[in-house]
Structure 1
Amino acid sequence: MPTLHVNVVTPDGKVYEGDVDMVSVKTVEGELGILPRHIPLVAPLTVGAVRLKKGSTVDLVAVSGGFVEVRPDQVTILAEAAELPSDIDVERARSAKERAEKRLQQAKQENIDFKRAELSLRRATNRLDVAGR
């Protein structure tokens, strides 16, 4: 059975590389499942978990925006930030989530950037979800 070679790369370097049966990413237009021999495309990513399926195993990578480039036998994810579950500092993510929630509450009363606080909350929640906590 054919596979896809996947690279997940950030400005800091390579986060993941391997061959998988299927890749699932969250684009700004919605969820995208990619199988071998998929038509070439480039799509912008949003905050979400990249699911990398090989056999019965599914690996997750927390991604905070970027782009996915698809070729028939290769997928490259150029992410602003990406972390494997083992690399996620859960306490730091929880603290970030709490700070973002407080900012969102204050945004109703003060002059706080609501979209920025909302994005911070989405990133922290995604990291906690991928870490399994």
Structure 2
Amino acid sequence: MQTIHLTVTTPQQIFYEGDVEIVTLKTAIGYIGLQANRTPMFSNIEVGHLVIGWEKDDSSIKCYIGGGLVYADAEKINIITDDIIDVKNIDLQRALREKEILLKEIEKAAHNQQVDRLKLETKLKKALLRIETYNTYNK
């Protein structure tokens, strides 16, 4: 199968760089798989799972991604994000604690107009997806 060059960049480092057969990520229309020889596309990445390689392949890299941007054409895929974690590095206990704290903060925010409830809900969504990603790929 043909490969395509993938670069995943964060503000701190290059998270991944190499040739891959497929990258699966979530956009506004749902999960898509990006492969070689595709027409050019540019899109936002939604909070969700990102899989480098074939999902059922033991050598694939499975990640949580907290959003970002993707540009892909026939020869390369560039992903820019500030929030990506390899499933092997997800701290499940921390994510569960964060979930509980955020649920309490959201409950308090319902009675306080000063608190930005949308920010809290976004943080909660990310914590829940870290937990889901961990549980999906650590069976």
Shorter-chain-normalised TM-score: which range? 0.7 to 0.9
C-alpha contact 1:64 1:81 (8 A) present in aligned 2: yes
TM-score by length of 1: 0.86
1:114 is matched by which residue type in structure 2?
A: R
Alignment partner of 1:104: what SS? Answer: helix
1:56–1:48 Cα change, 3 Å: closer
* Structure 1 stretch displaced more, 28-37 or 78-87: 28-37
Q: Does 1:32 align with 2:35?
A: no
Instruction: Quote the residue 2:15 is aligned against.
Output: 15
- Tell me, in whole angstroms, the C-alpha distance in 2 between the residues paired with 1:34 and 1:59: 15
Report the Cα distance in structure 1 between the residues aligned to 2:19 and 2:129, rounded to whole angstroms. 24
Counterpart residue identity of residue 52, structure 2: L
Q: 1:55 to 1:81 in 2, by over 3 A?
A: closer
Shift of 1:121: 0.8
Report the TM-score, using the length of structure 2 for normalisation. 0.83
Supply the distance in 1 between the matched residues of 2:92 and 2:76 (Cα, whole angstroms).
31
- The alpha-carbon deviation at position 55 of structure 1 amounts to 8.0
Letter of the 2:99 partner, please give it: K
| Structure 1 alignment gaps of length 5 or more | none
Q: Percent identity?
A: 27
Q: Which amino acid aligns with 2:82?
A: E
Q: Unpaired segments of 5 or more residues in structure 2? A: none
Taking the aligned partners of 1:70 and 1:36, their CA distance within structure 2 comes to 9
The aligned counterpart of 1:104 is: 106
Number of residues of Structure 1 aligned to a counterpart in Structure 2: 133
Matched, 1:64 2:66: yes
Kindly indicate whether residue 50 of structure 2 is the aligned counterpart of residue 50 of structure 1. yes
SS in 2 for 1:47: strand
Kindly provide the CA deviation profile for residues 73-107 of structure 1, in whole angstroms up to 9, marking residues without a partner as x.
22111002111012222222112111121122222
**SS of residue paired to 2:66:** strand
Q: SS where residue 80 of structure 1 aligns?
A: coil
Aligned partner letter, 1:26: K
Deviations 1:42-62 (A, max 9, x none): 111121111222484143121
- 4+ residue runs over 4 A deviation: none
TM-align CA RMSD: 1.9
Q: Say if 1:29 and 1:56 are closer, same or farther in 2 by CA, change over 3 A.
A: closer
Instruction: Confirm or deny: 8 A CA contact 1:26 1:46 kept in the other structure.
Output: yes
Q: 1:109 to 1:55 in 2, by over 3 A?
A: closer
Separation in 2, partners of 1:88, 1:39: 34
